[in-house]
A = this chain, B = another copy of it.
Amino acid sequence: MKDRRLLVVGAHSADFVWRAAGAIAKHTAAGGEARVVALSYGERGESGELWKQPGQTVENVKRHRHEEATEAAEAVGATFECFDLGDYPLEVDSAAIERLAELMRDFAPHVVLTHPDTDPFNPDHPVANVAVSKARLLTAGAVVEAGFRTAPPSEFLVFEPHQPELCGFTPSVFVDITDVFEQKRKAMAAMRAQSYLQQYYTERAEHRGNHARKVTGRKQIRQAEAFQRLVPNVVEAL
């Protein structure tokens, strides 16, 4: 993983935590660099606990969410930044896609993670998928000389949505996150505005650990995260 760069793009500032914090921690623990981009703070639709406070304002919610996400990212060795494009609905125009493409050309990630293209329970997740897919293709071009600056093509995967079967999500790779699970737990604990999800995703990681044990027979795996590759990867041997 040394010298490898991982880019995680979520629709809302907390998405990366539930779905990919373990994989990020494994990546950085192995010497890689990880960068989290949120397209919005999820300030309107995914900040339930904060909106229970009387007199709450959007600006205050965003500030909270920024602090929480930054703390969570740090817990797994990553940086956090937010495009602050608004949520419910998230809208990503051409300029924002170009901004993301420029970020990719600068960062030149080896791996890009984002949401699946379908989610019958969330209006913003598929929007993020479309934006990231487009920005990624504008980054690499057709892998020949181009009339614009390019970066090499990246591996492209989606992380696990909340109700996977209804989002067309079929896992193609499990990351064993057993030895970094305490870091993921810390990252989840930072998301105080969505505390009700911590138990859910702790158990989910254990279930995916169970699946990963079934697939390999390796009894020492306790927690895992599931991902689906959108393009084939290239390996030296099977």
Residues on A facing B (Cβ under 8 Å): 1, 6, 23, 26-27, 30, 32, 43-49, 51-52, 56, 58, 61, 88-89, 91, 94, 97, 111, 113, 120-123, 133-134, 137-138, 140-148, 152-153, 155-157, 162-166, 169-176, 194, 196, 200, 203-204, 206-207, 210-218, 221, 224, 226-227, 229-238
Contact = CB atoms under 8 A, between A and B. Distances in A.
Number of identical protomers: 6
Contacts of A165: 164-165, 169-171
Nearest to A157: B238
A102 to B, nearest CB: 14
Contacts of A230: 120
Contacts of A49: 145
Contact of A48 (B146, B163, B214): B146
Nearest to A56: B147
Contact of A45 (B45, B141, B170): B141
A140 to B, nearest CB: 7
21 contacts: A23-B237, A43-B147, A45-B141, A47-B147, A51-B145, A88-B138, A88-B148, A89-B134, A140-B217, A171-B232, A172-B233, A173-B233, A173-B234, A174-B232, A174-B233, A175-B236, A176-B234, A204-B207, A212-B234, A224-B234, A227-B238
A92 B43 CA distance: 25
Contacts of A166: 170-171, 231-232
Given A44-B147, A123-B137, A238 B23 contact: yes
Nearest to A163: B211
Contacts of A153: 214-217
A120 B156 contact: yes
A204 B210 CA distance: 12
Which of A175, A211, A215 has most B Cβ within 10 Å?
A: A215
A231 B210 contact: no
A74 B27 CA distance: 39
B145 A236 contact: no
Contacts of A200: 207, 210
Nearest to A227: B238
Query: What 6 pairs across the A-B complex have the smallest Cβ distances?
Result: A48-B144, A152-B217, A44-B147, A123-B137, A48-B145, A26-B237
